[in-house]
Chain A
Amino acid sequence: EVQLVESGGGLVQPGGSLRLSCAASGFTFSRNAMSWVRQAPGKGLEWVSSIGGGGGNTYYADSVKGRFTISRDSSKNTLYLQMNSLSAEDTAVYYCAKDDFLTVGYYYYMDVWGKGTTVTVSS
């Protein structure tokens, strides 16, 4: 069974840091790009960051660029999100998702999602 399990969320003060993890199982982790998506309370989905299968290419939303760092460890089948300089606007449920694509046309989609981990930034 393909599964993603996030961890590392919690309460952090403004300006603080947190590292999220996403443990992957049931698929060849190194073959797939992976993404983080967040959802603030009562709000919609916001793409945060993605990383290519090899880990060499990373992408960030403007709202987190320069503060968040995505990485992956294929030996541990784990995706990470290092979050620095946190503010109240970063309060959200953070989901990790597996990216895949149709080989004809490279139509990407997120076909597996974790249950999410909650980050609360508050003093």
Chain B
Amino acid sequence: DIQMTQSPSSLSASVGDRVTITCRASQSIGSYLNWYQQKPGKAPKLLICAASSLQSAFPSRFSGSGSGTDFTLTITSLQPEDFATYYCQQTYTTLTWTFGHGTRVEIK
């Protein structure tokens, strides 16, 4: 099974900060990597698919990069509405998904 390791597990940042979250796969998964944003008490929302394709509902301060085993989610200028938990997900193995353990972005 493919394991997904996210780091850090949590971080504190201020509005306007640049934030980087990493996700590492236990084997190469090409670009079969998605990112989701989840706010407390709400369902997750798809943020980025195929490692770097930003969903239209999200602003361009979000970006994703990487391929193979190492991936990055970057928020260039953190806004109050961005405080949430972010999860990566591998979709290399069709319909047998794995999520990372999540990164909680908190207000400093």
Contact = CB atoms under 8 A, between A and B. Distances in A.
B3 to A, nearest CB: 12
B50 A105 contact: yes
A37 B96 CA distance: 11
Contacts of A113: 43-45
Interface string A52-93: 100001010010000000000000000000000000000000
Interface in B19-70: 31-32, 34, 36, 38, 42-46, 49-50, 53, 55
B96 A108 contact: no
Determine chain B's interface SS by DSSP, over half rule: loop
Contacts of B89: 45, 47, 109-110
B24 to A, nearest CB: 16
Interface residues of B, number: 28
Interface residues of A, number: 27
Query: Which of B1, B85, B97, B101 has the largest number of chain A CB atoms within 10 A?
Result: B97
A106 B94 contact: yes
A99 B98 CA distance: 14
Nearest to A60: B96
Given A45-B89, A108-B32, 4 more contacts: A45-B44, A95-B44, A108-B94, A111-B46
Interface of B: 1, 31-32, 34, 36, 38, 42-46, 49-50, 53, 55, 85, 87, 89, 91, 94-102
Interface of A: 33, 35, 37, 44-47, 50-52, 57, 59, 62, 95, 99, 102, 105-111, 113-116
| List of 9 A-B pairs having minimum Cβ-Cβ separation, nearest first | A107-B50, A109-B49, A113-B43, A50-B95, A108-B91, A47-B97, A44-B102, A45-B99, A59-B95
